[in-house]
């Protein structure tokens, strides 16, 4: 029999506007719905409350998120939102945990709210759990225990840093990078986070204008994100200089999505990383000679080594005709596709081998054969960090 838990209290902001800006805000929908799903799937009851009670303002409204969509279209959830109790009506001891959801509204009504501080104290002193996500930790800043001691004294708390909350976060992060590197300008500034092109790209424009950033590149972005970043830069007379995505014989998503064509048409250099698939396409490993057990590479690739042996055998044959290695054929293929391979090098000969690969000219029929054999492996090496490229 499962233990009987008291409900979990989920608290959202009641604040609708970002200060004097007039910009709407509130609580971030996914930061409520996703915790609700985990808790309710586990059979734990929940209470949704807000600072002032009633219908709280919603921010981060994204119904392409299936969890958001399920809750938003669920009548009971809508009713619970419309009738949230105010924190002043509740007692912390009635709950096993309190969870403060994020959203920018929290920055106005969480920190100084006496009832939020009381609920935190009552839950904590009843051996309950106090938790928060994103901007939710604003509620914890001034919370005190009955002893008068701050709740977070001596504790590590996950929260946004000052730089992340800066009005000019891109500029602040650049200045920190310049200081660490001891330079006045950066030749190419890479944006690795594809989640918010509209937020980060405009922040690069004044840095390009100042000369502190000479070029801009994006990594792990899909076609729509690459196109949008370039549009934003174009509007101010600049353009995207480079894209850096996972691309190999075993993972051609950027090509299939049209990213290589877009880069070619817009004079954008495409940097291909993982061309050798962490050694799986180097010719060093096969089913009889797997990658070292216990390594992350072994977990990812050893199971599929038998499937790629026909491919690597063809690469080995092509290499033998040119006094080249399997790895050099993989690099030469990537160059023939119009990309600039990024190859990990731990020894001098790795650099020399990669340089020699640039002189290898594969025939069209060889490229077609390699791609056909790669497709027949039915191996998908997309990383857990990668989203669909289309």
Tell me the chain's radius of gyration from C-alpha atoms.
Answer: 27
pLDDT at 353: 87
* 218, 230, 239, 310 from 268: Cα distances, Å: 11, 10, 9, 34
State the first-to-last Cα distance of the chain, in angstroms, to the nearest integer.
Answer: 47
pLDDT at 1: 41
> Residue 3: is its pLDDT beyond 60?
no
Distance of CA 93 to the CA centre of its chain: 37
**Mean confidence (pLDDT) of the chain:** 90
pLDDT band at 163 (very low <50, low <70, confident <90, very high): low
pLDDT band at 164 (very low <50, low <70, confident <90, very high): low
Question: What b/e readout covers 186-199, taking b as 16+ CB neighbours within 10 angstroms?
Answer: beebebeebeebee
pLDDT band at 166 (very low <50, low <70, confident <90, very high): low
pLDDT band at 297 (very low <50, low <70, confident <90, very high): confident
Which of 113, 126, 120 shows the shortest CA–CA distance to 155? Answer: 120
pLDDT at 159: 77
pLDDT by residue (tens digit) across 59-101? 877 788 889 889 988 888 999 999 999 999 999 999 999 999 9
């Amino acid at each position: 029999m499962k233990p009987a838990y008291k409900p979990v209290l989920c608290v959202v902001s009641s604040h609708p506007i970002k200060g004097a800006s007039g910009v709407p805000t509130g609580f971030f929908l996914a930061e409520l719905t996703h915790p609700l799903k985990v808790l309710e799937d586990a059979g734990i009851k929940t209470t949704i409350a807000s600072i002032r009670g009633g219908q709280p303002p919603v921010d981060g409204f994204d119904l392409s998120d299936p969890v958001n969509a399920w809750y938003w279209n669920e009548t009971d959830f809508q009713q619970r939102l419309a009738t949230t109790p105010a924190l002043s009506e509740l007692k912390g001891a009635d709950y096993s945990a309190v969870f403060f959801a994020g959203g920018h509204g929290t920055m106005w009504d969480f920190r100084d709210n006496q009832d939020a501080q009381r609920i935190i104290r009552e839950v904590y002193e009843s051996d309950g759990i106090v938790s928060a996500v994103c901007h939710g930790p604003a509620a914890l800043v001034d919370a005190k225990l009955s002893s008068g001691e701050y709740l977070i004294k001596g504790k590590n708390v996950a929260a946004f840093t000052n730089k992340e909350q800066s009005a000019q976060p891109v500029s602040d992060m650049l200045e920190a990078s310049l200081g660490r590197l001891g330079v006045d300008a950066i030749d190419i500034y890479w944006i690795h986070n594809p989640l918010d092109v509209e937020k980060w790209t405009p922040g690069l424009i004044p840095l390009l204008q100042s000369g502190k950033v000479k070029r801009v590149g994006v990594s792990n972005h899909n076609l729509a994100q690459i196109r949008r970043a370039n549009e934003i830069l174009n509007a101010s007379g600049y353009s995207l200089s480079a894209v850096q995505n996972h691309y190999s014989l075993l993972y051609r998503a950027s090509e299939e999505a049209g990213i290589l064509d877009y880069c070619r048409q817009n004079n954008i250099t495409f940097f291909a990383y993982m061309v050798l698939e962490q050694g799986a396409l180097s010719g060093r490993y096969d089913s009889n000679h797997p990658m070292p057990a216990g390594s992350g590479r072994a977990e990812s690739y050893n199971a599929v080594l038998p499937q790629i042996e026909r491919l690597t055998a063809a690469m080995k044959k092509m290499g033998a005709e040119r006094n080249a290695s399997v790895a050099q054929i993989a690099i030469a293929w990537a160059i023939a596709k119009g990309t600039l391979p990024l190859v990990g090098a731990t020894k001098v000969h790795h650099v020399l081998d990669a340089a020699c690969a640039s002189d290898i000219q594969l025939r069209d029929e060889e490229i077609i054969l390699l791609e056909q054999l790669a497709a027949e492996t039915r191996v998908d090496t997309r990383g857990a960090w990668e989203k669909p490229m289309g």
